[in-house]
Structure 1
């Protein structure tokens, strides 16, 4: 062991000395965070339709399902309202997935608060008494003897490390299991009381050719005696329809642009898509509103005016009618406007790139193309398409669907594999309709590409870590090293602050690449895609931005230690000791500055800055005001890594415990606001991200125990290190217990949890029928059990039919009139109730 230690010392670069810039970083982060937070408070009042976009998304008809309205008159009055939002409110307004995500932050706050109290009141005072350092890494390294034989005097205080490694491990496991049980309990209660089509549907894959028709498949399933089949939708290779609708959407966009140009956006306010009122809240009646669910109302003709009144707006009409309205006269769409004026119909040239050739009426030209493509679609819908081995089967009850989803239907391998179905709007039909071999090929080659990229990122991350050390900088960039030696503050910035900012930049940029890769992997639903992004991004931040970065930060030959498990604990402990100040700076920057920055939803605001000027049609504005989508794959992995890093240092550094606690306190409040008021998460909420959180935290516990053992070995406290040997085995047993007993409840609904007396309400907006409280609720006050849940409201009137087979062939949008979309059709103009469709 001593030889290993000496070898590590030989290969160590000069470890970065504990920084004196922690105060500077704290000041920079706090000042930046304060200004960002102040800017958000001002902008929220000025632009409520951007920063409270989800309120508009829910719409007027969903007022009773909305969170408390935030005042736009007070800069800071909204803080108390958000603070008072309870867990039951989160479930009611944002769904189960948001509850799990925010529950992870709340659990981390409880866990780190207890650890912080032990550290402040017991560990640090005793360590200060024996070593003169409040944290193990404080001051110079005089408290850590370079000669292991000199470490004997430190055994007294090192007993604390053994004791509190056990204590912190058991505390973490207690809070983690408590949160897991809570999530499972709420999950079973909520999903067991739901009766949406998603809860009654399974996805069946591996269907043999002889069963790829509805009659044979129905008879095969019902013959098993499990239950009755309500409906079967066999997925087919509808790629031809996909291509036709892509062409149709392109034509619709072109047609809407020329209609907007013809009708105008200033002279005639009827056809001007009016943004949400940005100076007051609640919304005024004329503002467009996004709805959480299909309303089921049919399109109706807008008025009873004569042909002369409406001919100017007919589909493809080439007539221009002079129309002069009085100030009080109403148009065919129910809104008043001033005076219409003569306007020349737009023309296009049919030659090369539209710059030469014959000039034709643009509206007539694209209307004719639209009519042709619609006829092709009608013909294509009648064709026969080869069946794929995938089908969506809706059973007669939730209980039947759950039994089928958990059953093994066929004795052959890879035949008749059952899974719970994603929500209809969550399905990526483009992937569902792919032949099986094409989808499997996409999954494999994206997985291989992801692994190659993970290895490739090791090199830039390793070189980034060289900035932590002046000696390495001088080796690679002699001139820069010489300059930094002459200027102490420049040296401190480059070796201590600059790596923090570059590290944070990598954390921000690379995850989006994994989001794009997952979108090309052939997943059947957006929910599966999102869970895959969580796993990919955590793998990246953990391996590349933590493990490799930590090793490369102090060791010149870290490849050898990554491949030698015998030396891994020693190297990890040594590296973490040298990088403690770096992680303090990083967590402070992430928590105090970048967390408030998330409130500004910068990406969404940039859309208004750079895209709004290019919005030409009502549909463009509708998409512009669409609330940003909250992707757990982008937001969850890094907080898990922060918790792991904080746990690794929990017995060694009170500063990191304090920084981590502040990070999660601020993060909980920020994400609560985003999920309740600003962002949407359109996927069907199932809480399946909880197993991912559980497994990653257990991995962090194992590393924590390994790190403490390595730290004890570096101090020649081999006997104390041996006392930690049982702890990893207990942790693995803890994980095994979760996998065996808790994991099934994270994916399926227990049959006893299904409320047979749940009222099947045909209108989820109605609250007249109060749901019965299920015995398993155990007195939990959950408001969604008294009415429809967010998923039931969102999935009302949805089916598993392939959208392009049943979707109405609507005309171009001319305007958004109140809560209705004004569209042009072959029969004139119609008004249809406005709905929000994310996918």
Structure 2
């Protein structure tokens, strides 16, 4: 468990969070959290060095020649307002060239250092795992003649790669999906009426006595009485294999009598809500007419219990039917090394046949998409991709026009009356040109990414992990193009469409725009870093659930879902820090103020996100660290823009020779990126065979002392000793299989009560106490 936090100190959590090591981050939050926090640490180191050079060398030299500590302070005469007008050459600009090279190579050094650390950690952590996920591949493009287990097994094993342990061929189980959706609606309605009958409480501190001290009626059809012998026999009844602990509770039919439960809050505190002592003598009734507004009145519990019985019979019958096979299968090999070999191999000489990929974790699979026919899934992928592109282009127009608020000259051109008004009232001008754009920028940063999350969830991805990586790419594209390029160019250019379409003018206009927007970006970065970032500690979205949803909670299942910990989505949290780092790099030789605000942003963000990932949020996806290539490519893009911007700034001051001195930098940066794609990218997706632990000393989910791993030390002092016997993914995936859940899932009854460890469910024979398994948290 993570170290406890002080309860009476406002800032006492800071040193505790700081002392949590990288190995502990791996143990408590997984490899993706390790990569995410490593990006923040890398940014802090990088910006600290840039800030030191800028504050000690660049800004003093600039102040000596121009009288301005930062370029763009207002009195700066080194650049004109129009890209077409060049000013005199200033001798101090040679400093820009030197430090553009220095900052580029410093960024490359820290980025490659972080990449190597992630790869080494990834190889050691994933190479030591032995879960079913690490031994399984996903095979797509299976031809019709191989869509049966025997033929597919023989084909794979005939290749001489290794032995197959298990094959699960995905089928078109859409009918079962529909039945389980109907069952979920029925069982939730049944739970509502059970809660009305036996009572619920908004003060969740009730204890349910587990045995014959309490009784309740199931339905009016339950007329069977039990004698002592029957009760003793029933206590020995076992439940499904996946129930680790269960008790059969006694019951008897008690028509027209109240049911009483013990409500002694001092013995057991239940944070999820249970039924208490408030009961109804009369069973709830419903009308069978339209929306329950008219028609015959019947007993609600009996009605939905009968519906549940009917739907369960349909499900049992549907499980026995034959369903057409899809061209997708999950193949579990006999070892991790075999799975990695197969995943990296080309199995078929034909195009688009027998395509191998590493499989997502069983709990991570979106089975509704897996069971879709191939043409339906491909259709979803294409039309959501088209919609996403249309949405991205459509937002260029409102963002472009809203960005005209950044500059009074642009406002006067588009809205002359508004420009005249603002020119007469200085306070209104400062509000419209300085504060309002910052709030608009922040609001769009918050709202639009949620739209891309929703679009990605409809795109037909096989797993939540693939969906999350797609959200990262979509959201970064939006914030970079719409909220940076368009917002920046439109803020100072009267014809920014012409500049965006002309690569020759892009560098000049970008340099001019950034010169005039330094105050805007300082305000924006400080607002997000110092004002909004600490607010994330409150997890406002989760708090709003209590404000808006708690009053609507009616059943124990509702309370259980209400108290689930918030999920951490890297697609929502990673793109904005990436953009902030790019903006800070663009200004690194021009503005010490933005370097200072960017450094403060990442320092505050590191503590905030470390706290959230360790103590507050969960990241349920199988953690593989595949977000690192996304970070690498975006930072390289930032470097290219940085070099282009400095070249444009030099050209604006007639320093064409100095601008030409920067020509080698983009080519060196592209070569640097090519080296990553060729040599480092495969290690970011696969595990090297030599890195796989061939003879594991411990089984997954077993417990050993940390001393057994004390010798495993990664680069930069990262120790794996605290990983103990297994990783967080191994513990989550213990005893999981790739069976289609609706084929093997137990048909549990309605929930009557729940606490942090187990649930009381109604069955046809009484009640059962079922303990939550680890993956259900």
Q: Which of residues 314, 327, 346 in structure 2 aligns to 1:376?
A: 314
- 1:488 maps to which residue? 426
- 1:187 maps to which residue? 122
- 1:287 maps to which residue? none
Conservation of the 8 A alpha-carbon contact between 1:500 and 1:586:
yes
Give the CA deviation at 1:355: 1.8
Encode CA deviations 1:49-95: one digit per residue, 9 max, x unaligned.
xxxxxxxxxxxxxxxxx211223233332222112111111111000
- 1:215 maps to which residue? 150
- 1:351 maps to which residue? 289
Does 2:15 match 1:74? no
Conservation of the 8 A alpha-carbon contact between 2:197 and 2:280:
no
- 1:627 maps to which residue? 565
Conservation of the 8 A alpha-carbon contact between 2:72 and 2:516:
yes
TM-score by length of 1: 0.85
- 1:836 and 1:295, CA in 2 relative to 1: closer, same or farther beyond 3 A? farther
- 1:769 and 1:602, CA in 2 relative to 1: closer, same or farther beyond 3 A? closer
- 1:140 maps to which residue? 75
Does 2:581 match 1:643? yes
Matches of 1:202 and 1:390, distance apart in 2: 11
Matches of 1:160 and 1:724, distance apart in 2: 12
- 1:42 maps to which residue? none
Q: Which of residues 243, 248, 264 in structure 2 aligns to 1:297?
A: 243
Does 2:539 match 1:598? no
Matches of 1:384 and 1:564, distance apart in 2: 59
- 1:417 maps to which residue? 355
SS in 2 for 1:537: helix
- 1:785 and 1:264, CA in 2 relative to 1: closer, same or farther beyond 3 A? closer
Does 2:184 match 1:238? no
Give the CA deviation at 1:598: 1.0
- 1:548 and 1:838, CA in 2 relative to 1: closer, same or farther beyond 3 A? farther
- 1:771 and 1:207, CA in 2 relative to 1: closer, same or farther beyond 3 A? farther
Give the CA deviation at 1:241: 0.1
- 2:491 maps to which residue? 553
- 1:115 maps to which residue? 50
Encode CA deviations 1:243-267: one digit per residue, 9 max, x unaligned.
0000000001000000011001249
- 1:319 and 1:210, CA in 2 relative to 1: closer, same or farther beyond 3 A? farther
Give the CA deviation at 1:514: 0.5
- 1:695 maps to which residue? 633
Encode CA deviations 1:280-320: one digit per residue, 9 max, x unaligned.
xxxxxxxxxxxxxx9943452344x4x43xx45xxxxx664
Matches of 2:652 and 2:469, distance apart in 1: 39
Matches of 1:472 and 1:463, distance apart in 2: 10
- 1:811 and 1:832, CA in 2 relative to 1: closer, same or farther beyond 3 A? same
Matches of 2:476 and 2:203, distance apart in 1: 52
Matches of 2:524 and 2:720, distance apart in 1: 38
Q: Which of residues 421, 429, 435 in structure 1 aligns to 2:373?
A: 435
- 1:618 and 1:112, CA in 2 relative to 1: closer, same or farther beyond 3 A? same
Q: Which of residues 94, 98, 107 in structure 2 aligns to 1:172?
A: 107
- 1:557 and 1:476, CA in 2 relative to 1: closer, same or farther beyond 3 A? closer
User: 1:457-606, aligned counterparts within 5 Å?
Assistant: 457-606=395-544
Matches of 2:357 and 2:74, distance apart in 1: 57
Conservation of the 8 A alpha-carbon contact between 1:133 and 1:143:
no
Conservation of the 8 A alpha-carbon contact between 1:427 and 1:526:
yes
Conservation of the 8 A alpha-carbon contact between 1:148 and 1:716:
no
Matches of 1:338 and 1:513, distance apart in 2: 41
Conservation of the 8 A alpha-carbon contact between 1:260 and 1:271:
no
SS in 2 for 1:408: coil
Does 2:772 match 1:834? yes
Give the CA deviation at 1:134: 0.7
Encode CA deviations 1:111-169: one digit per residue, 9 max, x unaligned.
000000000111111111111111111132434367967523x1x21111110000000
Encode CA deviations 1:780-837: one digit per residue, 9 max, x unaligned.
4113543111000000111000000000000000001462100000111000002465
Query: Number of matched residues?
Result: 741
Conservation of the 8 A alpha-carbon contact between 1:71 and 1:77:
yes
TM-score by length of 2: 0.91
Does 2:184 match 1:249? yes
Conservation of the 8 A alpha-carbon contact between 1:329 and 1:337:
no
Conservation of the 8 A alpha-carbon contact between 1:251 and 1:366:
yes
SS in 2 for 1:434: coil
Segments of 5+ residues of structure 1 without an aligned counterpart are 1-65, 275-293, 313-317
- 1:88 maps to which residue? 23
Conservation of the 8 A alpha-carbon contact between 2:710 and 2:719:
no
Give the CA deviation at 1:657: 0.4
User: 1:712-751, aligned counterparts within 5 Å?
Assistant: 712-751=650-689
Backbone CA RMSD of aligned residues: 2.7
- 1:202 and 1:771, CA in 2 relative to 1: closer, same or farther beyond 3 A? farther
SS in 1 for 2:134: coil
Give the CA deviation at 1:343: 1.8
Q: Which of residues 664, 670, 691 in structure 1 aligns to 2:608?
A: 670
Q: Which of residues 29, 32, 38 in structure 2 aligns to 1:97?
A: 32
Matches of 1:407 and 1:253, distance apart in 2: 47
Conservation of the 8 A alpha-carbon contact between 2:195 and 2:752:
yes
SS in 2 for 1:612: helix
- 2:223 maps to which residue? none
Matches of 1:149 and 1:616, distance apart in 2: 70
SS in 2 for 1:611: helix
Matches of 1:144 and 1:112, distance apart in 2: 26
Conservation of the 8 A alpha-carbon contact between 2:194 and 2:752:
yes
Give the CA deviation at 1:591: 0.6
Matches of 2:703 and 2:616, distance apart in 1: 26
- 1:416 and 1:130, CA in 2 relative to 1: closer, same or farther beyond 3 A? same
Conservation of the 8 A alpha-carbon contact between 1:263 and 1:271:
no
- 1:137 and 1:327, CA in 2 relative to 1: closer, same or farther beyond 3 A? closer
Encode CA deviations 1:160-208: one digit per residue, 9 max, x unaligned.
1110000000000000000000000000000000111110000000000
- 1:564 and 1:364, CA in 2 relative to 1: closer, same or farther beyond 3 A? same
Encode CA deviations 1:202-237: one digit per residue, 9 max, x unaligned.
000000000000000000000000000000000000
Q: Which of residues 130, 140, 156 in structure 2 aligns to 1:205?
A: 140
Encode CA deviations 1:328-361: one digit per residue, 9 max, x unaligned.
9999x9x999978662111111112212111111
Give the CA deviation at 1:480: 3.3
Does 2:704 match 1:767? yes
Matches of 1:112 and 1:269, distance apart in 2: 48
Conservation of the 8 A alpha-carbon contact between 2:140 and 2:353:
yes
Matches of 1:743 and 1:250, distance apart in 2: 45
Conservation of the 8 A alpha-carbon contact between 1:468 and 1:496:
yes
Give the CA deviation at 1:96: 0.3
Matches of 1:236 and 1:618, distance apart in 2: 34
Conservation of the 8 A alpha-carbon contact between 1:295 and 1:835:
no
- 1:163 maps to which residue? 98
- 1:402 maps to which residue? 340
- 1:63 maps to which residue? none
Does 2:624 match 1:686? yes
- 1:782 maps to which residue? 720
Conservation of the 8 A alpha-carbon contact between 2:119 and 2:684:
yes
